[in-house]
Amino acid sequence: MADNKDFYEILGVGENASKDEIAKAYRKLAMELHPDRNPDPAAAERFKAVNEAYSVLSDGKKRSEYDMLRKYGAFAGAPGGAGGPGGFGGFDFSQYTQPGQSQTFHFDLGDLGGIGGVGDLFDMIFGGGAGRPREEDTRGSGNVFMDIDVPFKTAAKGGTAVINLKRGEPCLACAGSGAKAGTSTKPCPQCGGEGTVTVGLGQFGVKRACPTCAGRGKVVEEPCPDCGGTGTKPGKRKIRVRIPAGISDGGKIRVRGEGNIGPYGARGDLIITVHVKGSDRYEREGLDTTSTLKLNLSEALSGASKVVETTQGKVKVKIPAGTSSGKKIRVKKKGIKDERTGRVGDHYVEIEVEIPKKMNKEQKKLFEEYSKSMGWEE
Ligand SMILES: [Zn+2]
Ligand SMILES: [Zn+2]
């Protein structure tokens, strides 16, 4: 397994180090370890590591993602870590956990997909695909996948969604054991009570939940007639899920331990894909929002000061004289704020100049004069 990489440790700086401190530490180490100066092969290895660390910590966006992963237990869930049985412990590296709210995991793939997302960062930290659970690990783990629609405003500002979840609940007749009342369980003959079987050979062997006992390590002598020995029955549950501010369409929220009862008897996770509904007022692209502002001819020609509604409240926008239809005026940092990364998008005001449909006699006369003075007609 790849080692956990602490980029701060590699550069020998504190986690609150400023950009300058990081750059300085990097320069110093790079000088010392550069293969041209240092023939030691160990130095070459370190030089590589230093470059890698610097490439992340010197980039504000990557650094904040890395900080988040580092802080929120990604390392605890790393291979061999506290994630649980079965290799990678079902810790899905495309999500991260929020401390103090162990039930809620947020991660928004939409935002990070473009520029070397967290997946790439993890590949860097753990080497290759080591951090990501293989398909089989996820499929068998009792995870429940569902999609929800979230109003534009909730996605922009954060909020909650109430979810009616269909999932397996423990069978009451057998208290989830799957054994008929009065009968008992015995160690599973296939796995000898281990709950896992090894598939593949030698060092390439992978432990899987035992198919005979579904990872429980025990089999029943006589199955419970109520649940057929599975220990679970179809059930429903209402849960409240926090929607993080700034989540994009297609973003995912992971709610730990709210899935089905999976192998090992533990619940899988509920993984929700968020579909952000459109807004009458705004177009959204990433964290940027756009609204339309109608101007009359006079405002377009002479300029104006207008109050515009953004997802972050009202802002005053100065329209310069001579503004045409279609022009976009940027209002910095008034787009959507992503609470997880702290990034804030911009708001754009798209101008639509309204041309009067009719003119009365007097207006026509005035306009002819205006046209003349513009040289539009003889
Ligand atoms: Zn039962
Ligand atoms: Zn077994």
The rounded Å distance from CA 184 to ligand 1 centre is: 12
Domain boundaries along the sequence of the chain? 283-374
pLDDT in tens, 236-249: 989 999 999 999 99
Taking only the tens place, the pLDDT of each residue in 137-176 is 444 568 899 999 999 999 999 999 999 999 888 888 888 8
Q: List, for residues 101-110, the tens digit of each pLDDT value.
A: 333 333 333 3
Span 325-334, pLDDT tens digits: 999 999 999 9
The ligand that comes nearest to the alpha carbon of residue 225 is 1
Whether residue 231 contacts residue 142, with contact meaning beta carbons closer than 8 Å, is answered with no
Look up residue 98 and give its two tokens: 């929020």
Higher pLDDT pick, 121 / 211: 211
Rg of the chain (C-alpha set): 30
pLDDT category of residue 292 using cuts at 50, 70 and 90:
very high
**What's the chain's length in residues?**
378
Q: Which fold, 283-374?
A: HSP40/DNAj peptide-binding domain (2.60.260)
Output the CA 78–ligand 2 centroid distance in Å: 26
**Ligand 2 centroid vs 194 CA: distance in angstroms?**
7
Strands 218-220 and 185-187: antiparallel
Q: pLDDT at residue 313 above 80?
A: yes
220: CA distance to ligand 1 center in Å? 11
CB 110, CB 248: distance < 8 Å: yes
Pick the ligand that lies closest to the CA of residue 218: 2
Q: What is the pLDDT of residues 259-271, one digit of tens each?
A: 888 766 678 889 9
CA dist 300 and 320 (Å) reads 8
pLDDT at 38: 81
| Residue 221 Cα to ligand 1 middle (Å) | 13
Is the pLDDT higher at 31 or at 107?
31
Structure tokens at 257: 């331990």
Tokens coding 349? 């005001």
Query: In sequence order, which residues have a C-beta less than 8 Å from that of residue 17 and are 6 or more positions away?
Result: 8, 11, 25, 57
Report how far residue 340's alpha carbon sits from residue 106's, in angstroms, rounded to the nearest whole number.
8
Averaged pLDDT, 275-301 = 95
**Rounded to the nearest whole angstrom, what is the distance from the C-alpha of residue 82 to the centroid of ligand 2?**
23
Structure tokens belonging to residue 22:
């990081």
Average pLDDT, the chain: 78
